[in-house]
Amino acid sequence: MSITLYVPRDSAALAVGADQVAERIRAEASARGVEISIIRNGSRGMIWLEPLVEVETDEGRLAYGPVTADQVPSLFDAGFLTGGDHPLAHGPTEDIAFFKRQTRLTFARCGLTDPLSLAAYRAHGGLVGLERALTMTPEAILETVTQSGLRGRGGAGFPTGIKWRTVYEAQGPRKYIVCNADEGDSGTFSDRMIMEGDPFLLLEGMILAGIAVGAEKGYIYLRSEYPHAIDTMNRAIRILKDNNILGDDLLNAHKAFDVEVRVGAGAYVCGEETALLDSLEGKRGVVRAKPPLPAHRGLFGCPTVINNVISLASVPIILAQGADFYRDFGMGRSRGTIPIQLAGNVRHGGLFEAGFGMTLGEIIEEIGGGTASGRPVKAVQVGGPLGAYFPPALFDTPFDYEAFAARDGLIGHAGIVVFDDSVDMLAQARFAFEFCAIESCGKCTPCRIGAVRGVELADKAQSDIAASGDPAPHYAIMRDLCETMKFGSLCALGGFTPYPVLSALNHFPEDFSGEPRRQAAE
Amino acid sequence: MAAADEIQSAQQATARAIAGAHSHREGALLPILHAVQEEFGCIPPQTIPAIADVLNLSRAEVHGVVSFYHDFRDTPAGRHVVKLCRAEACQAMGGAALAEQLLEDLDTGWSGTTADGRLTIEPVYCLGLCACAPAAMIDEKPHGRLDAARLTTLLSELAP
Ligand SMILES: Cc1cc2nc3c(=O)[nH]c(=O)nc-3n(C[C@H](O)[C@H](O)[C@H](O)COP(=O)(O)O)c2cc1C
Ligand code: SF4
Ligand code: FES
């Protein structure tokens, strides 16, 4: 009897040798005359255990990881094909504490199946939402999405149902669904994991959006840094077309919807929705002034839904299980679940989906297990390069849009980057300015020039510290500059760069005076 | 000279054909530029008039788009492209020191190409490999949990 193994094909697994592991398992099995079949699944999200090899046994799927190709023979020797014990064994995958504590709604299937098996997608609850929606009126779909409380996962947290309704009610020669798969925020990878690990889910979400608002064409604007996601999405689109789930008469329901992948070209600002639309139109990715909203005049001047990958991928389960089911998770005005991405210097890095409301401390200490280096946590940056740095003193902040805003931070796309005590926060503040300078679209002066000035100020402060001078005057100007950027920028690139800068200044003053570092050097 | 002219006009003809093949698409310029760069390893400046002509745009418009995006280059890269992540999660795991060391060893700078034309080192801001940082992409292949030794090995394994 053939034994089934799973070796992920997610980029993060490939980055740490999953292909070599799969190859070695095949070679070893054939040398030992054992019949196996390997499914290349998505990732379960426990990236620190990648490559995570799973073996299908009578007791369910058992996990071994992180496996290197060299360790494969010893796994065979230990009888891992029948659940044999080994130093890399973790028991049933779904009993691993990191996994067990999650509420996996959007990521329910990710890592479970071959991402491009439509049969597996159906077998695990795929297309239920779409089939239900096809029996509903657009009004009823819009109402369900609105009632679910789903807010955009791209960063701004705007209610998805309201956005869709605006497009539904808007008049135009045609309408578009645009999926924002630019995922530029450092420390985030949930969009990538869905596209590589459960691509049909995203497409189902886009079709649902199309049916709800009356759009027949969708684009996925996908960053060029994600070649595997591009390939997987293109193949998934082909498969759905061949199966009449995308096309002129999808599921014979007299509705048409088509999707195309468009590849970005390495510009962070193109994740901003209006810059993205300009880029899709073949122009420079320059931010547009609003109004008009994309919902009224978006792509090629037509009413356009533009949503993040996770926003769209959360809709199928809402349609399948109902608005109440989804809304019952979460806290306050942050409803449902959020895929938190733990990254950087963290012991258990990966994707953790949970209802809103856990505290930052629980997430970093209990789930993340502290730093990878074993040193104390000094700072965490939440929400990408425009997000604030939080010190452990603020770890009681619950993961909730409003709670973060109240502490001058943002959830953004829910990435958390952990730093240990070797980080220099002045250098991080400098980097925030540098990044803004590199990626600015150039439209507003405070962003374009201010960011460059910010880098210079950080450099001057640094050299004053090195020369035992007083850097304080530079910080006064830096704060002033941040005010100007905050209020004089058209979009959040210039407008939010002050978040990392000011949070670093406010919460880690010791790094800006030079005192402790000079002491440490003595 | 004549040979160079011939290459130029062949490139222009190819660029025109590529542009023509995509011109029916909505917002065709980015797909065209990607395809042209795929073909030539860069967007040769002399192909810009041909692309502009097919799309009925001005040269300045096409040039403006090419120059806006970090991905598009006007001269070909080295034989291998190494994209090293400079963003925060990789910084938290020693990415900056790793990059500094590599650039020093190769005697080049960001976006520079080694003297032998073998390697181009490009900065990238997040590869989505932030939970296995520091990360890089070498010729479209992802690599994580890098350290100096591992990076050196990977680079030495590349074709000359
Ligand atoms: C500089 C900048 C970069 C952004 N990058 C992204 C991104 O990569 N992905 C994303 O979904 N949203 C990004 N956004 C947010 C989008 O502008 C927009 O709010 C989002 O696509 C709306 O979708 P949602 O409502 O589903 O979140 C960015 C915003 C700014 C200002
Ligand atoms: S803030 Fe910066 S990126 Fe945003 S529109 Fe202005 S110049 Fe462009
Ligand atoms: S920050 Fe380096 S891969 Fe994301």
Domain A330-420 part of CATH 3.40.50.620: no
Nearest alpha carbon to residue A5 among A57, A49, A47, A48: A57
The CATH architecture of the domain made up of A425-521 is Up-down Bundle (1.20)
Q: Are strands A304-308 and A330-331 parallel, antiparallel or unpaired?
A: unpaired
Do A50 and B128 count as a contact with CB atoms less than 8 A apart?
Answer: no
Ligand 1 within 6 A of CB of A102: no
Structural domains for chain B: 2-68 (1.10.10), 80-156 (3.40.30.10)
pLDDT, averaged across chain A: 96
For residue B42, which residues of chain A lie inside 8 Å, CB to CB? Answer: none
B124/A417 Cβ within 8 A: no
**Ligand 3 midpoint to CA A189 (Å):** 9
Tell me which of 3.30.70.20, 2.60.15.10, 3.40.50.11540, 3.10.450.630 is the CATH number of domain A118-327: 3.40.50.11540
Write the DSSP string, A49-87.
Answer: G-S-EEEEETTEEEEE-S--GGGHHHHHHTTGGGT---T
Cα angle A157, A269, A296; round to 5:
55
In terms of pTM, does the model score above 0.95?
yes
- pLDDT tens figures, A314-347: 999 999 999 999 999 999 999 999 999 999 999 9
The ligand 1 atom nearest the CA atom of A153: 27
Distance of CA B4 to the CA centre of its chain: 24
Of the candidate CATH numbers 3.40.50.300, 3.40.50.1240, 3.40.50.720, 3.40.30.10, the domain formed by A3-100 belongs to: 3.40.30.10
- Domain boundaries in chain A? 3-100, 118-327, 330-420, 425-521
A363-412: pLDDT as tens digits = 999 999 999 999 999 999 999 999 999 999 999 999 999 999 999 999 99
Q: Is residue A520 pLDDT above 50, yes or no?
A: no
| Residue pair A134/A281 in contact by the 8 Å Cβ criterion | no
Give the nearest chain A residue to B32 (CA atoms).
Answer: A282
Q: Locate the chain B residue with the closest alpha carbon to A387.
A: B88
Ligand positioned closest to the Cα atom of A341: 3
Q: To the nearest whole angstrom, how far is the Cα of A341 from the nearest Cα of chain B?
A: 8
Chains A–B, number of C-beta pairs less than 8 Å apart: 158
The whole-number pLDDT of residue A13 equals 98
Helix axes B59-68, B48-55, angle to 10 degrees: 110
Q: How far apart are alpha carbons B21 and B47 in whole angstroms?
A: 15
A432 touches chain B (CB under 8 A): no
Does the beta-carbon distance from A267 to B72 stay under 8 Å?
Answer: no
Instruction: Answer whether B93 sits within 8 Å of A372, measured CB to CB.
Output: yes
The token pair at A102 is 């999650």
Among B83, B92, B137, select the one facing A418 at the smallest CB separation.
B92
Q: What is the ipTM of this complex?
A: 0.97
Instruction: For A267-279, write each residue's pLDDT tens digit.
Output: 999 999 999 999 9
* pLDDT above 70 as % of chain A: 98
Query: What letters, b where the CB count within 10 A reaches 16 and e where it falls short, cover A223-259?
Result: bbbbbbbbebbbebbebbeeeebbeeebbeeebebbb
